[in-house]
């Protein structure tokens, strides 16, 4: 494992070895079986290119009325619990007593991307955000604390973990593109990102 710091964003390259990636992937498959992926609308009315679901007390949700956390999946069922192997990543990296309320699962199929944004739908930005990459590589762009300005990018590969904390908690970030089919973890290609957050 190597730790990179890009504008206060901590990037743990190779945090999960292949066996750990498979364990987390199996756990994600159970989450998706209980709470199927859906394609949310942005507040601007366009569907997002990623498909998503969540685990935990809260799930992240978006539609024409805006971004927010919801206590239930759009089907009306509660979100499944955050899987233990995912909680273990949080515990190891944050050493916090409190565990995350939400594990957002983003699935990037061919051509999916995520525009530059801040994670700011949570009540208290003193809690970190931990983000896990699985599957195909994704080009992760890191901006600034406010909109605009120069950005820098790094490829996130399967098993890499990013922490947005402290000065980087509200840093703009996004995923420009993925190398669809270039990874070997997901047999049909695609990229999974798990984002762990304390919500309230
Ligand atoms: C996100 O910021 O919601 C996703 C980041 C990623 O896919 O790496
Ligand atoms: Mn984000």
Task: Report the pLDDT value the prediction gives residue 87, as an integer from 0 to 100.
Answer: 98
Q: What is the CATH number of the domain that holds 183?
A: 2.60.120.590
Overall average pLDDT of the 174-192 stretch? 98
Mutate to test the pocket of ligand 1, among 61, 109, 128, 131 (most ligand atoms within 8 A of CB): 131
Contact 68, 41 (CB under 8 A): no
Task: Kindly report the protein residue whose alpha carbon is nearest to atom 7 of ligand 1.
Answer: 193
Task: Report the pLDDT value the prediction gives residue 156, as an integer from 0 to 100.
Answer: 98
Separation CA 188–CA 76 (nearest Å): 29
Domain that holds residue 64: 2-197
Separation CA 36–CA 155 (nearest Å): 28
Tell me how many domains the chain contains: 1
Residues 27-51: tens digit of each pLDDT: 999 999 999 999 999 999 899 999 9
Find how far residue 50's CA is from the centre of its chain: 11
Instruction: Please tell me the distance between residue 95's alpha carbon and the centre of ligand 1 in angstroms.
Output: 22
CA dihedral (50, 159, 11, 156) positive or negative: negative
Residues 114-145: tens digit of each pLDDT: 999 999 999 999 999 999 999 999 999 999 99
Residues 139-169: tens digit of each pLDDT: 999 999 999 999 999 999 999 999 999 999 9
Residues 9-25: tens digit of each pLDDT: 999 999 999 999 999 99
Task: Report the pLDDT value the prediction gives residue 130, as an integer from 0 to 100.
Answer: 99
Q: Give the pTM.
A: 0.98
């Amino acid at each position: 494992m190597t730790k990179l710091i890009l504008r206060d964003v901590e990037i743990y390259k190779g945090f999960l070895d292949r066996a750990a990636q498979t364990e987390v992937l199996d756990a994600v498959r159970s989450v998706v079986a209980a709470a199927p992926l859906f394609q949310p609308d942005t507040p601007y009315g366009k569907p997002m290119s990623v498909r998503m679901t969540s685990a935990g007390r809260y799930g992240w949700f978006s539609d024409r009325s805006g971004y927010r956390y919801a206590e239930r999946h759009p089907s009306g069922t509660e979100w499944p619990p955050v899987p233990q192997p995912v909680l273990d990543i949080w515990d190891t990296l944050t050493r916090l007593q409190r565990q995350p309320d939400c594990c957002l699962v983003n699935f990037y199929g061919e051509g999916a991307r995520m525009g530059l944004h801040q994670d700011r739908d949570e009540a208290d930005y003193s809690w970190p955000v931990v983000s896990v990459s699985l599957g195909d590589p994704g080009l992760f762009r890191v901006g600034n604390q406010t909109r605009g300005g120069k950005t820098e990018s790094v490829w996130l590969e399967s098993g890499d973990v990013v922490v947005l904390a402290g000065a980087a908690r509200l840093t703009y970030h996004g995923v420009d593109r993925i190398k669809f089919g270039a990874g070997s973890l997901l047999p049909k290609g695609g990229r999974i990102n798990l984002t762990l957050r304390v919500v309230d």
